[in-house]
Each structure stands twice: as structure tokens, then as C-alpha cells.
Amino acid sequence: MTDRRKFLQTAAGMAAVPAVGAAGLALPATAAGAQVAAPATSISVVAPSRLPPGVSRPDFNRALSAWRSAIGADGVFTSDADVALYRDAYSPYWGEPEERVASAAVAPATLEQVQAVVRVANQYKVPLYAISTGRNLAYGGSAPVYSGSVVLDLKRMNRVLEVNERNAYALVEPGVSYFDLYEHITKHNLDVWIDPPDPGWGSVIGNALDGGGGWTASPFRDHFGAHCGMEVVLASGEVVRTGMGALPDSKSWQHNRWGYGPWVDGLFRQGNMGVVTKMGFHLMPRPEVMQSAVVRVPRNEDAIALLDTLNLLENQHVVNGSTSLGGVGGAAGGNAGAWSLTLPIYGPEKVVRAQMEYCRDKFAKIAGSTFTEGELFRTPLSADALTRARKTSFGIPDLSTFGLLGRTHADPVPAGGHMDFSPILPRTGEALLEFAKFYRDNLPSVSDGGKLRFLGPVYMTNWDRTLVALIMFPVGKDKAFNARMRHAFEQWVQLCADRGWGEYRTPAVFQDAVAKVYSYNNHSLTRMRETIKDALDPNGILSPGRYGVWPRHLRKS
């Protein structure tokens, strides 16, 4: 009953959810595990109402009982109410037959338990879908890509194994959220920052593996790029350590990411070749100050010079913060006051002031531009400064971005969920203008004459050298509405692919469609990945279909 209530709360919409997250934040790091561990006597084994595809009921029962003995009955969820908690709250197929749902969930707490779970899955050929904290909302949440998979929920593996202040790195397990890691660092008074993404409840490992990013300084914002060393359980149940971790008792697992020989870590990015159970991350020593400036340019076509200047400053590492591009240029088709660009810089005060001055000189070359310096924030932030600052830009995780999805004055009855369409454009003003026009030209037909209210495009310059044009699609519980959104999403994918633009990340239900546009040489990259997948996971039990990589027995020819 409690579980059911929790589920309804999650499903009801975003407004209720941050409260749950906030309560979680106040708990010690072990609390998540403690919540799951109800007294064994109260556990009644419920037969799951759904079977994983291709698995007989007797085999599934055998697998479930093997899992129960491996990790304890309280770590195996089979009742409808418990399994429903793994639904994707933002599923664009919510309540429809095509919604991807779990058949059960298993939540190991240790490496050895993960190995045992995977071995059992292999024995009975039960597909698993691994999640870290399952908060990859807008891109699939905690639901499997292959419907009927058993969710392998790693939330209980929530130890912060090491945070090294002198060498500025962390080694964590997948259940560790940004909130957890921040709390650990604060508690131990360590002078390093984490790089939080929007969802503070997200997993540090999961976000990196999903291709996510954060809001402090480069290069830490590219979360996969900032990792150093992994421990992975392969489909065979074998444990591999990558990079320098392959050396027994290595002293430099988090010092050098490459190690020796072919580097396999990349395979686990947006991948399904193994279950990541530990991962190291480089952290930033706390910068002494942060100051931001805003550049405004008057003409639509000034986007070109604006981005060229920005690229120069970022590629020289003069600007190291997460820049953001705004303004009405794209949406309104080139009005005056067209574009604005926010440039945060982190560092020692005298250095930041010199960098600001240099930026001012460079942008002054754009006729009619204005350059406005913002407040210089000294760190650690005072309580007063904290009220004015965006927390994530200062290494403090929160959930404020989810305010977008809750009830607002502008939108008192929101759909509640959303999904993101995120094509990568070349990082030039020309591409920006081309996309803006492309968006305007296609909007009437793709949006049913404006009836589908997309949010966007948001031009994300938050990673160096990469430009993402984000369009957000509201998703709710109205099936007809969701169907139109899905159709629109697919149209955008194809229209963009025709222009040479492809997505960096995509919701579970569109992962096949997006993978198909990466079709160079008759899909040779996909075939290469499939070859690796079949070799490492011959029974195809690990997260089948994730990012379009299907094991042999599930591929359509």
C-alpha cells in the first residue's frame, strides 16, 4: 500500500516529486538501502503478472527464487504495485500497449550480488535492464527499453568509496546521486566541487553513462569525458576493471584514464555491454570566484560573429564556464535584440578579471554589441549570495529545473512530463540561423498548425565545441495528445537527419529511430556494435535494445 502510494505520487506529476527528492537529500547516504530493507517476515512472495519475453513461467520462477536467495527476498520486486514504480513517469506511451514496462525488478547491494544476478539471468535467458538511480527522466527514466525486461536497480549500491581532495577525484558506486556525493564532500569538508546536472537526484555514474552534462567549468561538464576508471560486470558475470584499475593494487586508477592497450570504457557509454559497478571521476578544485558577463548583439546574423568569438574564447580556454545562448533571434525570426550570450568564468579573482577584460575586447569587435559584467561571486558562497545564484553553477545539486514542468503561472495545468529532442548542429552561427529557419519553416506542419506546444529551440552551448538545439515536447497522460507528440518527434528526427543533424541522446522509445539515422555505409557502426554485443553477451540479456543495439535473437533483419 505504501509502495502503491509512492507510485501514484510519482505518476501524478512533477510537482510532488521534488519533495520526495528533497526528503531523500536529508537522509544519510545509507538510507536508500534502509528504506528497501523491510523486515523479512513482512515480505510475501507475489507472482509477477507479466513474464519477460521468451521466458517460461517455470524458468522465470526459478530465476526469481535464485535471485531471492542471492540478494534476499526484499531486494526482488514482483508485485504489480512495486513493479509499477519502475514505469517511466514521462513515457510517451503511458497506459498504451506499447509502453515499455518491467516484469520485475532486482536490487542487489554489492558487486558479488550483481554478479549473481547476472549469472542467473544468463542461465534462464532473462533480459535485464540496468539502471543506476533511474532518474534519466525525459530520456526514459527507470523503464526498460525492451518491454518485459527485469530492471536491475543499482540504487542500493550507494557508497562513496573515495573522494581525494589533493588529486581531486571521486570513486563512487552507481546508486550515488549528486545529492549524495555533495553531502559526502560537505560532511568531510573537502575543497572540491562536483559538477551537477539538472537532476540532483540523478546518479553520478548513470548521468555519465547516459551522456549527460553539468553546469560548472570545462572539462568537468562532459560527464563521460571526465570519468577515470571503471569496474564493470560483464554478461558472463565476470568483473573487469578498466584503465589503470586492471593492475592489481593499482595506485593510479583515478589518475590516468587510458591505462594500457585498447580502451574499452567507451563501450559502456549509452551502451549495454556490461553493468558498471564503480566509476571514477575527476573533480574540480573549488575555484575562488565566478563571474559572468552577458553579451548582446542586435542583428540576427550577428549570431555568426557571436559564436565565432565564443568558440575562440572557449577553445583557448579563456572562457571555461557553461555558456548559454538566449534571445528572440531564433523564435521570432530576426528581431532587434536578437541574441544574448552568458559567459561564466571560474578561477582566481585576478585571473577572472583579466579574462573578462579580454572577452570584452574580443566581443567589442561586433558592431552594436553590448557587454555587461555580472556580479563577481566569491566562494564558498555566502547564504545571501546563494539566494541569487543558480546553485548548479556553483557545484550544488538541486532540482530547480523541474520547475519548468510543474504548475507555473504561465501554465497552471501542465502535462507533467516531457521528452527531449536534442540534435547536434555544427557550432557555427550559420548552423544556428539555418536551424532557426528550418524550425520556423517546419513548425506549422509538424505542430498541427501550432497546436502542439513544443518548448524551444534552446541552443545549448554548454559543451565546448558542441552545439545542441534542444526542443522539449510536453508529455502527459492524454493518449491522443501523446500520440501526436510521438509523431511530431519522429518527424523532427527525420527532417534533421536529412540536413546532417543527429541526436546526442534520445528517449528509450525513439532510440531505434535515432540509431537508424546514423546509417553511414549501410549502418556499419551499428553492425560493428552488434558484433561486439553478440560476443560479450551471447544470450543478449543485458539491456537489449539500448540505443538501438539489439542482440542477435532480437534483431529484425
547 near a second copy, rule: CB under 8 A:
yes
76 or 244: CB nearest a second copy:
244
260 near a second copy, rule: CB under 8 A:
yes
The one among 49, 372, 382, 519 contacting a second copy by CB under 8 A: 519
Q: Which residues of 409-421 are buried (b: 16+ CB within 10 A; e: fewer)?
A: eeeeebbbbbbbb
Q: Which three cell numbers stand for residue 119?
A: 549469472
- The distance of closest approach from Cβ of residue 537 to a second copy in the complex, given in angstroms and rounded to an integer, is 10
Q: Which residues of 236-248 are buried (b: 16+ CB within 10 A; e: fewer)?
A: bbebebbbbbeee
The question of whether 124 is a catalytic residue gets the answer no
434 or 478: CB nearest a second copy:
434
Binding mask 308-327 for a second copy (x = CB under 8 A): x--xx--xxxx-x-------
543 near a second copy, rule: CB under 8 A:
no
Q: Name the residue among 221, 512, 446 with its Cα closest to residue 456.
A: 446
Q: Which three cell numbers stand for residue 507?
A: 528517449
CA 190 to chain centre: 26
Element (H, E) at 339: strand 339-347
494 near a second copy, rule: CB under 8 A:
no
- Residues 433, 499 contacting (CB under 8 angstroms): no
The one among 238, 375, 441, 448 contacting a second copy by CB under 8 A: 238
- Residues 417, 476 contacting (CB under 8 angstroms): yes
- The distance of closest approach from Cβ of residue 256 to a second copy in the complex, given in angstroms and rounded to an integer, is 4
- The distance of closest approach from Cβ of residue 547 to a second copy in the complex, given in angstroms and rounded to an integer, is 4
The one among 70, 114, 157, 515 contacting a second copy by CB under 8 A: 515
Q: How many helices (H) and strands (E) does the chain have?
A: 16, 20
The question of whether 505 is a catalytic residue gets the answer yes
CA 326 to chain centre: 22
15 or 532: CB nearest a second copy:
532
Phi, psi of 475 (to 5 degrees): -135, 135
CA 219 to chain centre: 17
d(CA 386, CA 397): 12
- The distance of closest approach from Cβ of residue 71 to a second copy in the complex, given in angstroms and rounded to an integer, is 21
> Which of these ranges, 16-24, 37-45, 239-247, 335-343, lies near a second copy under the rule CB under 8 A?
239-247
**Three-state DSSP state, 388:** helix
CA angle 348, 354, 358 (to 5 degrees): 140
The one among 7, 224, 371, 492 contacting a second copy by CB under 8 A: 224
d(CA 206, CA 204): 6
250 near a second copy, rule: CB under 8 A:
yes
- The distance of closest approach from Cβ of residue 79 to a second copy in the complex, given in angstroms and rounded to an integer, is 34
- The distance of closest approach from Cβ of residue 527 to a second copy in the complex, given in angstroms and rounded to an integer, is 8
Phi, psi of 129 (to 5 degrees): -135, 110
Q: Name the residue among 491, 524, 490, 494 with its Cα closest to residue 507.
A: 490
60 or 550: CB nearest a second copy:
550
First and final C-alpha spacing in the chain: 45
d(CA 366, CA 61): 69
- The distance of closest approach from Cβ of residue 431 to a second copy in the complex, given in angstroms and rounded to an integer, is 7
The question of whether 139 is a catalytic residue gets the answer yes
d(CA 320, CA 467): 16
350 near a second copy, rule: CB under 8 A:
yes
3 near a second copy, rule: CB under 8 A:
no
Looking only at residues 148 through 207 of this chain, which bind a second copy when binding is defined by CB under 8 A? 166-168
> Which of these ranges, 5-13, 328-336, 413-421, 525-533, lies near a second copy under the rule CB under 8 A?
525-533
The one among 106, 163, 431, 432 contacting a second copy by CB under 8 A: 431
- The distance of closest approach from Cβ of residue 263 to a second copy in the complex, given in angstroms and rounded to an integer, is 3
Looking only at residues 458 through 487 of this chain, which bind a second copy when binding is defined by CB under 8 A? 463, 465-467
Residue 199 CB contacts under 8 Å (≥ 6 apart), including other chains:
135, 137, 178, 207, 399, 401, 402
The one among 144, 174, 197, 259 contacting a second copy by CB under 8 A: 259
Measuring CA to CA, how many Å separate 390 from each of 223, 356, 541? 19, 20, 41
CA angle 213, 217, 218 (to 5 degrees): 75
401 or 466: CB nearest a second copy:
466
> Which of these ranges, 81-89, 146-154, 173-181, 512-520, lies near a second copy under the rule CB under 8 A?
512-520
Sign of CA dihedral 360, 363, 367, 370: negative
- Among 100, 156, 296, 505, the one annotated catalytic: 505
327 or 347: CB nearest a second copy:
347
Looking only at residues 14 through 53 of this chain, which bind a second copy when binding is defined by CB under 8 A? none
506 near a second copy, rule: CB under 8 A:
yes
- Residues 396, 303 contacting (CB under 8 angstroms): no
- The distance of closest approach from Cβ of residue 361 to a second copy in the complex, given in angstroms and rounded to an integer, is 9
- Among 139, 178, 182, 439, the one annotated catalytic: 139
116 near a second copy, rule: CB under 8 A:
no
Q: Which residues are catalytic?
A: 139, 504-505
